[in-house]
A and B are shown apart, each in its own frame.
Chain A
Amino acid sequence: MSVITKKEIIKFMNKTKIKERLFVTPIFNQNEFFDASSINVRLGNEFIVMRKQSFPLLDISNSTSKDKIRKYQEKIRIGFREQFVLHPRQLIIGSTLEYISVPCKLMCYVIGKSSWGRMGLIIATATKVDPGFKGCITLEIINEGEVPIVLYPGIPIAQLVFHETSSKENYNGKYYCPTGPQFPNFEKNIEDWKFWFPKN
């Protein structure tokens, strides 16, 4: 299905029925918020950073990986108007500042903003947001450039491009109404994937 434009996005955001409505909140500046066929979203102020010093390796086949992920990744919060310096090749998990609720008739892609891209900043690798998803979108942020980049929570960092779906669908994933970045969660899949892991 085709990409929907600003006019249609607004229509979805103004739907009377709560289930049919596209929610994006908070909205600070409507001029900055909409592009012709997307909406701009900002960088949130919570991050998951890696404690490299105690990071041997992450192997999802290991049953204790969930505990290990918690141990090797740490959630931090940066105040607004404060800096986060992202060094070359550094990966952090962030999220959109905005909380979104995608109706069952829409899906969207998270796309980086070209200005940031030209500085070497990659903001999302798993970019599909399913119909029915609710929450802040987790972003995998990497500095692929040669020099450190200073990030400020609240700055527009990505855009959401919406598509209308051919039929209604509802999100049934692992991340339910997150209000910040989420630790990776393989728990649900591990049983199904065991076939692919080495036998003990």
Chain B
Amino acid sequence: MTIYSPKLIEEYVLETISRVRVIKEQCENLLSKDFASQAPKNLAQTHINICHYLETAIKSIYKDIDWKNIKKIESSFILLQTTDSIIREFGSHIRYIDGAQTQKVPWGLISPLEKYLKRFLSDVEILFRPQWKYNYAIIPTNLYEYYSKTLSSYETHVKNKNLSEILKPLKKYFYIVSFPSIERENILLHCLLGHEIGHLEAKTYISSRNKEFLKLIQDKIADVVNQRIKKPEFKNVPEEIMPQIKQEITQAYLKETSEIWERGLEEILSDIVGSFLFGPAILFSNLEIALQDLNGLDITPGKDNNYYPPWRMRLRNIYQVQRDLKLFPLQKKAFQSKPIYNNVSKGFKLVENIIQEKSDEQMLKSNDLLKIVYEEIENDLVNAKRLILIKLSELFLLLNPDSFYKNLSHLIEKIDFGVPPNPYENSISKRKPAAIVEIINAAWFYKLSWKYRLFDKKNQFNENIFSKRERMNRLALKAIEYADMEKDYSDWSSEKNRKPS
């Protein structure tokens, strides 16, 4: 009995249809759950539509099998297997929807964060979800495009259904952004999601510069290759095969430099976008993540670390954005409390001490390829930063030091007192909801202002500081939710008053 027996294929089709129906049912179940935003529901509805579509496709492929022709049976079976593998792969995407359920995410943060980031990327829909892997990440695949491309080959099998209708619940640009589940309630680190969004902007820039980069470095790479083949290891290589070896080395170097450039520029540019969007908060968040890295601050970009740029360089660039925006040095007059000003200044000083050391730059200069690439990255950053600045100012998203610091001290004082820092309120008739960026930075500055000992005189762990940290997270998260609600209500109210009765 061959694998193409009608009985086996029939069973296979039955099981495949069963799988697609289970996925559909799971999505229908998920649609009845609570989500903090519309994105997971849109993805679930899309999957339900896709399941209908693929089930129709499977039935059509099966019914069209020409059982008299073994070649045609074979090609139909391969198509069924391909469809099954698509179903299994799409089925794994349910984890994004499942993870995005209200109780698994910092619900008060999701909608305001989404609104803020959409001001920067208006056409994009983002699904935020936690993952148990400790990583803040964006899946750089546009799911709309991916589904559309994958399903387009079935259009001949599903004649009465339009693919654009199937994918209608999704926006044209749909991305999944993940954060570590264990940091769910850590308000301080969630600004790193701004870095993840920055990847989309960075990728656009990189793809527009890719060819130019390769042109620019060709001569420099040729010099490095010429230097390399002069080395003793090539002494005994026969003259006639030298051009071929030279070409192979050149190709390998070009490939590697391209990867180093792409990864280095993408990470630093994403940091810069995040930094423009979230201000000093992203500087301190990155420092915290950098501290977790066992490889230290000066890691050499290489294949084993996915060509990540050294942390010290990343921090330097983020810090520079704060200076460019004039968010640092701190405005002394904006701080009512001198100890808070002093302690926050100390926090910045710590970063300055780290970035003033140039060990990362020395490391990069000591390697021929890295030196070439990072010189180019430096040039690219000047250009890319200018473009980002233009975009942000056109969108009125550029942080202004005067308005940034105007209410910060008031918000810090509120957290310290134990109330959510959602409005600036001199009196109840003069209330102004705080922006998400102000609240996150107020929480960061508040934490930086602490002066504490981790262990007391009796060598006991200071549980009070732990409670204080936990309380700060709760109050800041609540504040973000409240500020967003007040803003929504005010918009609704103005709209209502505008409408003729």
Q: Do A and B bind each other?
A: yes
Q: How far is the CA of A47 from the CA of B427 in the complex (A)?
A: 31
Q: A25-B419, A25-B420, A101-B417 are in contact. Are A179 and B427 (CB under 8 A)?
A: no
> Which residues from B are CB-within-8-Å of A25?
419-420, 422-423, 425, 482
- Please state if A14 and B428 are interface contacts (CB–CB under 8 Å): yes
15 further A-B pairs in the complex, CB-CB below 8 A; given A77-B107, A177-B418, A179-B475: A14-B428, A25-B425, A26-B422, A26-B483, A28-B489, A75-B103, A76-B34, A78-B34, A79-B34, A79-B102, A99-B419, A101-B418, A101-B419, A177-B475, A179-B474
A29 within 8 A of B: yes
> Which residues from A are CB-within-8-Å of B203?
none
- Please state if A26 and B477 are interface contacts (CB–CB under 8 Å): no
B431 within 8 A of A: yes
- Please state if A177 and B471 are interface contacts (CB–CB under 8 Å): yes
Taken residue by residue from 32 to 47, chain B's Cβ proximity to chain A (1 for < 8 Å, 0 otherwise) reads as 0011100000000000
> Which residues from B are CB-within-8-Å of A23?
419
Main secondary structure of the interface of B (DSSP, over half): helix
Q: A28-B489, A179-B474, A179-B475 are in contact. Are A76 and B103 (CB under 8 A)?
A: yes
Q: How far is the CA of A10 from the CA of B430 in the complex (A)?
A: 12
- Please state if A134 and B418 are interface contacts (CB–CB under 8 Å): yes
List A1-44 residues whose CB lies under 8 Å from chain B. Answer: 10, 13-14, 18-19, 23, 25-30
Kindly identify which residue among B419, B428, B485, B489 contacts A134, using a CB–CB cutoff of 8 Å.
Answer: B419
> Which residues from A are CB-within-8-Å of B35?
79
B129 within 8 A of A: no
Q: Which residues of A contact B (CB under 8 A)?
A: 10, 13-14, 18-19, 23, 25-30, 75-80, 82, 99, 101, 134, 176-177, 179
> What distance in Å separates the Cβ of A156 from its nearest Cβ neighbour in chain B?
13
> Which residues from A are CB-within-8-Å of B190?
none
Residue of B nearest to A100 (CB): B419
Q: How far is the CA of A28 from the CA of B428 in the complex (A)?
A: 11
Task: Give me the 5 closest cross-chain CB pairs, A-B, nearest first.
Answer: A14-B427, A179-B478, A26-B482, A28-B489, A134-B418
List B443-501 residues whose CB lies under 8 Å from chain A. Answer: 467, 471, 474-475, 477-478, 482-483, 485-486, 489-490, 493
B413 within 8 A of A: yes
> Which residues from A are CB-within-8-Å of B483?
26
Residue of A nearest to B425 (CB): A25
Q: How far is the CA of A14 from the CA of B430 in the complex (A)?
A: 10
Interface centre among B36, B418, B429, B475 (most CB of A within 10 A): B418
> What distance in Å separates the Cβ of B364 from its nearest Cβ neighbour in chain A?
46
Q: How far is the CA of A42 from the CA of B417 in the complex (A)?
A: 23
Residue of A nearest to B427 (CB): A14
Q: How far is the CA of A76 from the CA of B490 in the complex (A)?
A: 27
Q: How far is the CA of A20 from the CA of B471 in the complex (A)?
A: 21
Q: A23-B419, A101-B418 are in contact. Are A10 and B486 (CB under 8 A)?
A: no
Q: How far is the CA of A82 from the CA of B102 in the complex (A)?
A: 14
> What distance in Å separates the Cβ of B186 from its nearest Cβ neighbour in chain A?
15
Q: A78-B34, A177-B475, A179-B478 are in contact. Are A18 and B428 (CB under 8 A)?
A: no
In the assembled complex, 29 residue pairs joining A and B whose CB atoms fall closer than 8 Å, in A order, are: A10-B428, A13-B427, A13-B428, A14-B428, A18-B413, A18-B414, A18-B417, A25-B419, A25-B482, A26-B423, A26-B482, A26-B486, A28-B489, A29-B493, A75-B103, A76-B103, A77-B107, A78-B34, A79-B102, A80-B485, A99-B482, A101-B417, A101-B418, A101-B419, A134-B418, A134-B419, A176-B471, A177-B471, A177-B475
